[in-house]
Amino acid sequence: MKDFAQAGSHGHFVKGPIRRLRKTSIIAIAMTMGAGALVPASLTAKAEESRGALPEVTVTARFRTENLQTTPLAVSAFTAQDLEVKAITNVDQLGQVVPNAYINPGGINPVIGIRGIIQGDFMYAFEPAVGMYIDDVYFGTLVGSGMDLIDVDRVEVLRGPQGTLFGKNSIGGSIRLISKKPEGTNTGYIQGTYGTRNRLEAKGAFDASLITDKLYMRANFMMRDQRGYIKRLDFTCQMKANGTPELAGIGDGIVGAVQGGTPPSFAGRPLYVPVMGTPGSAEDNAFSFPERQTGAKGCVLGTERGYDRKGGRVQLRYVGTEDLDVLIEADLMKSDDPQWGSVMHAPPFSSLNPFYNRGVLLPHFGISIGDGRFMTNDPYSTFATYSDPVNGQSYADREHMTNWGTSGTIKYDISSSINAKLVSAYREYNVIQSTDNDNTPIAYNDLASSPLHHQQWSEELQFNGNAIDGRLDWTAGGFYYHASESRDGHVTLQPIGFLGFLAPFEVHDTWKTTNRSAYVHASFDITEALQVSGGVRYTNENKSYTFDHGPALPITRPASARNRRWDWNATINYKITPDIFVYTSAATGFRSPAFNPRPFTKGQLQPIKAETVTSYEAGFKGDLIGQRLRVNADVFYMDYNRILSENATQCTPASSDDPGAPLLGGTGQTCPPGTPLAGQTGLNWFYYQTVPGHDKGVELEITADPIENLTLTYSMGYNTFSSGFVPNNQYLIQPEYTMSGSIQYAIPLSSGMGQVIPRLDWSRRSHGSNAGTSGVSTAANIIPGYSVFNARLTYTSDDGLWSASLEVTNLFDKLYYYNIDPPGGLTVDAVPGEPRAWAISLRRNF
């Protein structure tokens, strides 16, 4: 197949954005010049004698093979070898090394964002902020995007709005997973790993020629099994082990409960007072919280945040003629991970707790909630049981997912200057998961065994060509995507439920999305060094949401949204020297309209306007000092209309189709005069709206080979968001600064013995905030910053057939948190990062 140039996806700067970026541009240029100035003259001279020390990195971010250093995009590219030495085995870990990327590992529900544009809500009502592509096939949901990197050729992370060149609209950026393709080489590999918490991993692949020069096949497989790093403890067992059995109701002298006290009831529900007896008596000990695990086997019920995954992919490639290339592939991944839960960071808080204690917990077990007894005082343990002891229910404590897909890609050269490409794909997954959000042994805030289903069909037809003696490259294409999703489950929100305010309810929600779009791009070489390009895209999209929570909230009218819009991009790039490249660009992008997924009344089931962005960017890419120093830097400014949520109050009746204007500032407010519920306590409302703001930042990536066998890397991202709507600009969970670096040195052994490569990787995140849209930045709202170091020692044989490695992640056993809930909520949870872990691997190539 021939390669044809395609249009870029950036555009001209205008004066306003240039002024906004001027200060940041000067900083970036100063850093670039400073990096070169710090290299000694002796090294410069030596480098000039041996040009080409840094290898060329090729990417297909613009759907043609080109040098990363002459691609006018902010893109981070990682080869399979890069991922291996960085110990990156999953999409979740890319957040450690990509500037301004924020990825919070969450099993099948990660949080993924780039440049402050983040999607953390798994609900299908929202589109992903960052588009995920598997071999040019768009993956349409945040659920399932925490993918294992199996037999990949490379990963490309594109920062900034994408989608006007290929696939579906992606407002924050795109992550492209590009698999190794069949080449008929009759080669392969197999690798095994053992490590901390009984980590057992095996993976391999082989590439075969079935018909010489005609039909090739490649197949791969993987399996990974590892206990989670958060322990789930039996509460009563642990209290006995701690020497405090009375906290579980054993030996506390409470032998029962009777109705009474002041007040004797609340909201029509009876309240109770304890009946005292002899501490330690059989009657006392029997009136306690049930024990599920005996101390003889310890108090561990299970773990969270572990792995149990198996999967693989098969590809067939037919090269019928010089002009025809056909690839058919199918993949399957089955996971049965321990739930990816959190830990309790503060005792559950609710003003209803005293009544819930006297109305439910005391008469059943003689205990209470909210006093800290359910705190394990260990950052890596929880009392979550995935059960409701009041009603005797238990539910899944593991995440079950079957994710599979199939696709076909046909490439055909119509002529010497025009080719065509058709990608057809189908993907589907089924999930059963539960959440124990309160991290207590009671069903305080739980979602029981919730099935999720997603299926999608996509088609993309693309034509690429060149004209005017190769100076004009063009692309035209069309994209179709249809998806349907469903979510079911049983929701329990105690203590609200026991008061009758919101009884446990069943969920049966469905969504549908149909997207049709067309695009055209052109790129023109004005001179050998100067190039301009631009493109437009038209999107026609329809979405619907059917909300069904049974008798709890009957809404028979589906919500619908329609989106018709044009997007554009333009770029100017200039090659100052053969090794120095600059570009400036502008582009628009959007995230599809959403829906309020958590209405309390039927009128609140409303569509939410699409997020939109206009992005301006300037970049520098240079191979300096005889190509021993590579510096890529960019600055950006974005006018961004983002979806934000705020607690509000509805001041119209629950039966109204029109919820009226929200009363912002919190739930449960007294409605003002002039509203239908004037003088009364209004209805709760999670109000979503699209508000204007600005994102701006800097990104820098440096690679250096200062001397033979030594490689140094450094990356930095700075990102900040501002909006008049958000007090103190504290909404972003994403840290302002992200940094990473590495040092690697290859030590040759005696002749024929191979080499040993020690390596140290470092990543840094500055503090984040969870204050929310209506919060105030305080010490309690801060998610502390952290640094993590990983170490690796690798041996490779001289013939390249054998390799072995020892790796240690979180070398200094740093306690850090991906997220901490803001104080004052129903529950306050935290997500700790993985503690120190080690692994040994052995690989055989053949």
Q: 381 is written with which tokens? A: 């343990």
Q: What is the pLDDT of residues 448-485, one digit of tens each?
A: 778 899 999 999 999 999 999 989 999 999 999 999 99
Predicted local distance difference test score (pLDDT) of residue 496: 60
- Say how far apart CA 456 and CA 726 lie, in whole Å: 36
pLDDT over threshold 80, residue 245:
yes
CB-CB contact of 129 with 119 (8 Å): yes
Write down the domain spans for the chain: 230-304+342-383, 714-846
Q: 226 is written with which tokens? A: 């590892």
Q: 295 is written with which tokens? A: 């101390």
Q: Predicted confidence band at 491 (pLDDT cuts at 50, 70, 90)?
A: confident
CB-CB contact of 744 with 830 (8 Å): no
Lowest mean pLDDT among 13-17, 397-401, 794-798: 13-17
Stretch 275-286: mean pLDDT: 93
Q: Which helix (H) or strand (E) holds 16?
A: helix 15-37
Q: Write b or e for each residue in 694-731: b if 16 or more Cβ atoms lie within 10 A of its Cβ, otherwise e.
A: ebbbbbbbbbbbbeeeebebbbbbbbebebebbeebbb
pLDDT over threshold 70, residue 782:
yes
CA 769, 770, 775 angle in degrees (round to 5)?
A: 105
Q: Report the relative pairing of strands 117-119 and 710-722 from DSSP bridges.
A: unpaired
Q: Write b or e for each residue in 241-278: b if 16 or more Cβ atoms lie within 10 A of its Cβ, otherwise e.
A: eeeebbbbbbbbbbbbbeeeeeeeebeeeebbebeeee
CB-CB contact of 444 with 428 (8 Å): no
DSSP state of 324: E
pLDDT over threshold 80, residue 201:
yes
Per-residue CA distances from 26 to 29, 31, 684, 718, 736 (Å)? 5, 9, 49, 15, 19
Our measurement of the distance from residue 200's CA atom to the centroid of its chain's CA atoms, rounded to an integer in Å, reads 25
Q: 792 is written with which tokens? A: 């690796």
State the chain's mean pLDDT as an integer: 86
Per-residue CA distances from 786 to 225, 716, 728 (Å)? 28, 15, 23
pLDDT over threshold 90, residue 745:
yes
Q: Which residue has the higher pLDDT, 595 or 6?
A: 595
- Say how far apart CA 391 and CA 521 lie, in whole Å: 61
CB-CB contact of 293 with 402 (8 Å): no
Q: Which residue has the higher pLDDT, 197 or 15?
A: 197
Per-residue CA distances from 145 to 105, 107, 178, 534, 693 (Å)? 10, 9, 15, 30, 28
CB-CB contact of 786 with 764 (8 Å): yes
Q: How many residues belong to the chain?
A: 846
Predicted local distance difference test score (pLDDT) of residue 5: 34
- Say how far apart CA 488 and CA 445 lie, in whole Å: 17
Region of residue 470 (phi > 0: left; psi between -120 and 50: alpha; otherwise: beta): left
The letter for the amino acid at 347 is P
Our measurement of the distance from residue 773's CA atom to the centroid of its chain's CA atoms, rounded to an integer in Å, reads 21
Spatial CA neighbour of 109 closest among 92, 126, 95, 127: 92
Q: What is the pLDDT of residues 639-658, one digit of tens each?
A: 999 888 888 899 999 888 89
pLDDT over threshold 50, residue 802:
yes
pLDDT over threshold 90, residue 58:
no
Beta strands in 437-504 (DSSP E): 445-467, 472-493
Q: Which residue has the tokens 């003689």?
A: 366
Spatial CA neighbour of 501 closest among 746, 322, 668: 668
Predicted local distance difference test score (pLDDT) of residue 713: 96
Q: 825 is written with which tokens? A: 């909520």
Q: What is the pLDDT of residues 541-588, one digit of tens each?
A: 999 999 888 777 778 788 999 999 999 999 999 999 999 999 999 999
Q: Predicted confidence band at 22 (pLDDT cuts at 50, 70, 90)?
A: very low
- Say how far apart CA 548 and CA 479 lie, in whole Å: 31
Q: Report the relative pairing of strands 215-226 and 307-321 from DSSP bridges.
A: antiparallel
Q: Write b or e for each residue in 56-66: b if 16 or more Cβ atoms lie within 10 A of its Cβ, otherwise e.
A: ebebbbbbbeb
Beta strands in 705-825 (DSSP E): 710-722, 737-745, 747-748, 755-765, 768-769, 782-783, 786-796, 802-809, 817-820
- Say how far apart CA 260 and CA 271 lie, in whole Å: 6
pLDDT over threshold 50, residue 725:
yes
Per-residue CA distances from 404 to 3, 111, 113 (Å)? 30, 21, 24
pLDDT over threshold 70, residue 501:
no
Beta bridge pairs of residue 841: 193, 805
- Say how far apart CA 282 and CA 275 lie, in whole Å: 14
Q: Which residue has the higher pLDDT, 292 or 609?
A: 609
Q: Which residue has the higher pLDDT, 168 or 573?
A: 573
Stretch 753-779: mean pLDDT: 81
